Structure 1
Amino acid sequence: MNNKYDLIIVGGGVLGTFHAFHALKKGFSVAILEKNSKPQGATVRNFGQVVPSGMNQKWQNYGRKSLEIYKSIQQEFDISIRQNGTIYIASNDEEVQLIEELHQINKNNNYSSRILTKQQCLEKYNGLKSSYCKAGLFFPEEVTVEPTKMIHALHSFMIKTLKATIIYNTTIVNVEEQNEETVAITSEGKKYSATKTIICNGSDFKALFPIIYNQSDLIVSKLQIMQTKPQKNYKLNGSILAGLTIRRYEAFEECASWKTIKANENPESFENKFGVHILFKQATDGSVILGDSHEYATAKEIDNLGFDLNMDIDNFMIKEAKKIIDLPTYEIQQRWAGFYSQCKNTDIFERSIGKNIHIITGIGGKGMTGSAGFSEENLQKILNN
């Protein structure tokens, strides 16, 4: 095996994979080194919604570019992309005001969206409750993916068409510069060398650079998500994001009414205490994924979050979900906690070790939506340096 490359990527999740994707498209030789037999972190433990509409303007631009990239790949190879759109359902007058303001913002930004009346929402989304829905804001260009399938399909596509080298079950214990090149050393003592190395393995980079990790502003978010049993004779046309999402997503912070509306909320309410908002997305097997919640700890204190599930949170989310949509069944077949790292003070964690080792992580909940677009720009910045 040739162990010399132009670029090494440590971490085979969506952020690292798309850095590799863009480098391969430029003609560079690339190796992705993934510690597990397949990626198992935040990339596969999420909803699989690609929603640039929920992001601030900077990241919406990355997300819109990501949409182009996802759709382009899907034309060549099935990576589970479905263009079925995203809708935000407003449940009261405050939320209607916010979606109307966001609609105008997106009109100014030339990002396609349209306001749907209550009746249009009820006709489009089977089971949506009239008692909950006041109006909706629909983004037709947005897509869903199957998170447990997408990254594996993307890897297969890159191996087949771009001649990517992806080496699984490979734990990197040290990365250093030697004689104008970078060397990644595995737990088995094997060495891989490259001109540059990019480390995109989430909070796991603490094993490589513990001082940098402990001094960082990284925090870890724990999310609880559920999946119902397959719904019989039921189809959900795209992603539904409800009123609590309107009150949470950063895109709405750019709305004129945002601060006033948030100031009227009770910060001690259950939904604010545990960062709950309600999302629905139907998987290809007919089941519906719903959630989620957010609990936070500093990167150094991640163990304080625990790996158990708080059933009070799950029960609350199911209770709220039933106010929004009548599903044939709310019987749950699977529950899980997802963990992702994000920065407290910046969009993403970026740190260079010397000239050629670059840590890029802490993308938080923006990973599935923003990674493809962000990685293209960020890779060029790294190469220029």
Structure 2
Amino acid sequence: MAPRTPPTGHVDLAIVGAGVVGLAHAVEAVERGLSVVVLDRDERAVGASVRNFGHICLTAQHGPALEYGLAARERWLAMAAKAGFWVSEAGTVVAARTADEHAVLAEFAAERGDQVHLLDAAGVRSKLPRVSDEVTGGAWLPLDLRVDPREAIPALAAWLAAQGVDFRWHTSATGVETGAVHTTRGTVTADRVVVAVGHDVDRLLPGVAEAAGVRRCLLQMLEVSTPDSVVFDPAVLTGLSMVRYAGLRACPSADEVQRRLAADHPDLLEVVMNLMFTQRPGGDLVIGDTHAYATTHGPFDDEATADLVLRETARLLGVDRLTVRRRWRGVYASADAEFLVAQPFPGVRVVSVTSGIGMTTAFGLAPTVLDDLLR
């Protein structure tokens, strides 16, 4: 259904934030025939939505996040066709190097059935052309997807604009209330408002952020050249992922993985490393990542943390060193729960994925938020 032409200065839905969470709500609203304006302080999306792995990592989730991820998968595939961006259905390989990691994957496969395919060493190498001899098996998660966020997010915005969504870039929200968003370029009136500004909710609605325990999770991430220019079709997770993602973490043997890592690799747990990588369409690998939590982070990065990521990725790939192409900080909202959905005023919802899985879940979360908001 095409969106209605809005009256001058008034829309059905105003969305603050043009990252993946805001865009997911805009897509859902357009599908429902609503008139929409999207406001963003920058001239394009430059935050967490374009600084990530592009990994729709749904299988490793649990509970509502898994439900949202499964729903989001179908929307990603549909939007790739409509908006014309690349999407890979090659899934994820979880590489296992120890007996306890194999035990986690066996338990996970027993619980999830066809969502998890166990692999022996040869099976892993049939999907990953270069990994260390330490990798003795693993699992393939066929439902997971990959996109290139640097392409997909702008493509989504362009498609929405072509459907009649009014994007107002370089426009900062200064206040929100029922029926209105006050901005640096005047007031926008709307029947409903969604605030999707991620970790910056404390700038606009500090009471909401304080009640939810919102902090900023700071990541160190890198892009490196691929050894021998090999092609990695799936995304790649490791044993460190087993103590981070809720679906894997719920397996009984994950406790043993945690204990072993604490004894053998406390430096990796100290920086909360999730050793993983994806390959960009141009061939380079996006590797990472580490996690640090604070309301306000200092401006200085610790090179030793990046060295740990490089060392562990090189070890996983069985190479001596990696050539860095780019380095960056990722920042996303972290809170006491995986998702923040709050109602500071009637007709207003604050929405943030507060667990680092916005790309995975936003398209599944948005319909539930709008169902409630429009009820």
The TM-score range, normalised by the shorter chain, is over 0.9
Q: 1:22 deviation in Å? A: 0.5
Residue 335 of structure 1 corresponds to 327
Residue 270 of structure 1 corresponds to 267
User: Does the 8 A contact of 1:89 with 1:242 survive in 2?
Assistant: yes
- Aligned with residue 283 of structure 1, among 271, 280, 284: 280
Identity score, percent: 21
- Give TM-score scaled by structure 2 length: 0.93
Deviation digits for residues 264-322 of structure 1, max 9, x if unmatched? 5427811111101211211111111111101111x3xx1xx223321111111111112
User: In 2 relative to 1, CA 362–140 (structure 1 residues): closer, same or farther, beyond 3 Å?
Assistant: closer
User: Does the 8 A contact of 1:221 with 1:296 survive in 2?
Assistant: yes
Residue 76 of structure 2 corresponds to 70
- Aligned with residue 253 of structure 1, among 249, 252, 268: 249
Q: Distance in 2 between matches of 1:318 and 1:362?
A: 28
Q: Kindly provide the amino acid, as one letter, of the partner of residue 53 in structure 2.
A: F
Residue 107 of structure 2 corresponds to 101
Q: Distance in 2 between matches of 1:339 and 1:286?
A: 24
Residue 381 of structure 1 corresponds to 372
Residue 352 of structure 1 corresponds to 343
Q: Kindly provide the amino acid, as one letter, of the partner of residue 167 in structure 2.
A: I
Q: Distance in 2 between matches of 1:77 and 1:222?
A: 30
Q: What are the ranges of 5 or more consecutive residues in structure 2 without an aligned counterpart?
A: 1-6
- Give TM-score scaled by structure 1 length: 0.90
User: Does the 8 A contact of 2:242 with 2:254 survive in 1?
Assistant: no
User: In 2 relative to 1, CA 280–203 (structure 1 residues): closer, same or farther, beyond 3 Å?
Assistant: closer
Residue 126 of structure 1 corresponds to 129
Q: SS at the partner of 2:23?
A: helix
Q: Distance in 2 between matches of 1:219 and 1:210?
A: 11
Q: Distance in 1 between matches of 2:231 and 2:207?
A: 50
Q: Distance in 2 between matches of 1:81 and 1:158?
A: 18
Q: Distance in 2 between matches of 1:89 and 1:275?
A: 18
Q: Distance in 2 between matches of 1:357 and 1:374?
A: 16
Between stretches 246-255 and 195-204, larger displacement belongs to 246-255
Q: SS at the partner of 1:358?
A: strand
Between stretches 307-316 and 282-291, larger displacement belongs to 307-316
Q: CA RMSD in A?
A: 1.9
Deviation digits for residues 191-222 of structure 1, max 9, x if unmatched? 11001111011122323223333443112211
User: Does the 8 A contact of 2:39 with 2:168 survive in 1?
Assistant: yes
Residue 362 of structure 2 corresponds to 371
Residue 43 of structure 2 corresponds to 37
Q: Distance in 2 between matches of 1:34 and 1:227?
A: 27
Residue 219 of structure 1 corresponds to 215
Residue 309 of structure 1 corresponds to 301
Q: After the TM superposition, which residues 194-205 of structure 1 pair with which residues of structure 2 at under 5 Å, given as runs?
A: 194-205=190-201
Q: Distance in 2 between matches of 1:378 and 1:296?
A: 27
- Aligned with residue 209 of structure 1, among 182, 205, 214: 205
User: In 2 relative to 1, CA 260–235 (structure 1 residues): closer, same or farther, beyond 3 Å?
Assistant: closer
User: Does the 8 A contact of 2:273 with 2:290 survive in 1?
Assistant: yes
User: In 2 relative to 1, CA 230–127 (structure 1 residues): closer, same or farther, beyond 3 Å?
Assistant: closer
Q: After the TM superposition, which residues 10-21 of structure 1 pair with which residues of structure 2 at under 5 Å, given as runs?
A: 10-21=16-27
Q: What are the ranges of 5 or more consecutive residues in structure 1 without an aligned counterpart?
A: none
Q: Distance in 2 between matches of 1:329 and 1:59?
A: 36
Deviation digits for residues 223-281 of structure 1, max 9, x if unmatched? 11000136654211221111211232211122122334434542781111110121121
Between stretches 321-330 and 333-342, larger displacement belongs to 321-330
Pairing 1:171–2:172 present: yes
User: Does the 8 A contact of 2:25 with 2:366 survive in 1?
Assistant: yes
User: Does the 8 A contact of 1:307 with 1:337 survive in 2?
Assistant: no
Q: Distance in 2 between matches of 1:233 and 1:257?
A: 35
Q: Distance in 2 between matches of 1:92 and 1:289?
A: 24
User: Does the 8 A contact of 1:170 with 1:187 survive in 2?
Assistant: yes
